């Protein structure tokens, strides 16, 4: 089993007071790749992105390798650097984010002078991407990727997608809705969350659940503390709530990793749903996106 996770890895500055900051690495699909690899070490997991040729890019690639994730399909761009974001926390503990990513190297992922090159995506059994992956691409590269995914599935590959909607990354909401409709039609394993779908479409919980049921996709509708809903059957199961909630960063990303780790190694749908929920419950009990090993 070989999985390729596609997206953007960024430099993270976690502010400690007014002048000090801890430097880390973050990214939604990268978080999922890490938790997938930790959940199922027997699966070969690669991270696919574009970085610069600077020292921060070198540190990002080194961090990815430290999680036993392959970096052979990471492109390098001599003209650009990775995106950066800063986390600040107010007196009440509320977190806010500031981003510098408009000219990141990842925004030119797969782009060539001749158009687009997706040859690096050949040979995977599963490709995982998110709404952020699509949002940072140009319209032309995004359309070309959709065409590639059509062929990828015809050859037996599976596509896994999480809409992970971030309005500020899209040119407008209509473009985001159209792109998501297109990718859902190409998705084999769907991992939407109720909050993202509500923000994107304005639909209520029941309408969202019914829409995905009609798609007849394998996957889960993530609903936070309520626990995931099985997309194929619409069935609900009792799930234990997290004992402690410290930081909800990467709750959905870690669910995806735990769910896929179980599903792709032969687990049942019920086992995969439980694995995802249990892992996310642990992650939100700690500060930061990645649990200490």
What positions carry a catalytic annotation? Answer: 253
Q: Give 42's Cβ-side CA count (13 Å radius).
A: 7
47 vs 120: CA distance, rounded Å: 11
At a CB cut-off of 8 Å and minimum separation 6, what does 36 contact?
A: 3, 5, 43, 45, 128, 256, 257, 258, 260, 261, 264
Both tokens assigned to 198: 């509500």
**Please, which residues bridge with residue 12 across strands?**
24, 85
Burial degree of 119 (CB within 10 A; 0-12, 13-18, 19+): exposed
At a CB cut-off of 8 Å and minimum separation 6, what does 227 contact?
A: 236, 237, 238, 239, 273, 277
């Amino acid at each position: 089993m070989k999985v390729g996770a596609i997206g953007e890895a960024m430099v993270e500055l976690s502010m400690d007071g007014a002048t000090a900051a801890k430097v880390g690495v973050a990214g939604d699909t990268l978080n999922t790749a890490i938790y997938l690899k930790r959940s199922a070490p027997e699966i070969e997991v690669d991270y696919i992105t574009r970085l610069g040729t600077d020292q921060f890019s070198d540190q990002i690639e080194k961090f990815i390798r430290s999680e036993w994730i392959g970096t052979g399909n990471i492109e390098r761009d001599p003209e650009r650097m990775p995106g950066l974001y800063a986390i600040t926390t107010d007196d009440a503990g509320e977190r806010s984010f500031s981003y510098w990513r408009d000219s990141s190297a990842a925004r030119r992922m797969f782009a060539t002078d001749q158009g687009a090159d997706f040859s690096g995506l050949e040979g995977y059994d599963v490709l995982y991407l998110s709404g952020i992956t699509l949002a940072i691409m140009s319209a032309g590269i995004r359309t070309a990727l959709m065409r590639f995914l059509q062929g990828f599935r015809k050859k037996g590959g599976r596509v896994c997608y999480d809409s992970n909607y971030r309005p500020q990354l899209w040119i407008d909401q209509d473009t985001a809705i159209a792109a998501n409709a297109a990718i859902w039609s190409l998705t084999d394993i769907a991992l939407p969350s109720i909050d993202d779908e509500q923000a994107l479409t304005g639909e209520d919980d029941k309408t969202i659940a019914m829409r995905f049921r009609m798609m007849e996709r394998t996957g889960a509708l993530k609903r936070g503390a309520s626990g995931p809903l099985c997309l194929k059957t619409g069935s609900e199961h009792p799930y234990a709530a997290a004992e402690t909630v410290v930081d909800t960063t990467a709750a959905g990303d870690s669910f995806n990793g735990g769910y896929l780790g179980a599903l792709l190694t032969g687990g049942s749908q019920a086992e995969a749903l439980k694995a995802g929920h249990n892992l996310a419950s642990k992650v939100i009990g700690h500060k930061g996106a990645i649990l200490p090993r």
